[in-house]
Amino acid sequence: MITGTRARQVNDQEAQDFGISTERICLEIEHVFYDADDDVLRHTMTVDYKGHPYTTRYQPTPEDLSRRE
């Protein structure tokens, strides 16, 4: 399930890591997967830099989830 997307400027660390300009726009796509009890099974954030997606997966903290509500 896609729960959110946004376009944003590449930050300094990403520019250094991927060898791209901070003037570049990247696309963030957030997926949160829930079980039948609405517990988070997996949280995936994909950031697409110049056509090369980079994905991170983590279990969100209760603070992360409370900010989404």
The pLDDT value given to residue 36 = 79
Cβ atoms within 10 A of the Cβ of 26, count? 19
Containing H/E element for 63? helix 62-68
The pLDDT value given to residue 1 = 60
Q: Does the predicted TM-score (pTM) go above 0.75?
A: no
The pLDDT value given to residue 54 = 67
pLDDT means over runs of 10, the chain (69 residues): 78 84 83 77 73 65 68
Q: How many domains does the chain have?
A: 1
The C-alpha angle 16, 12, 62, rounded to 5 degrees, equals 110
Domain with 27, as residue range(s), is: 2-68
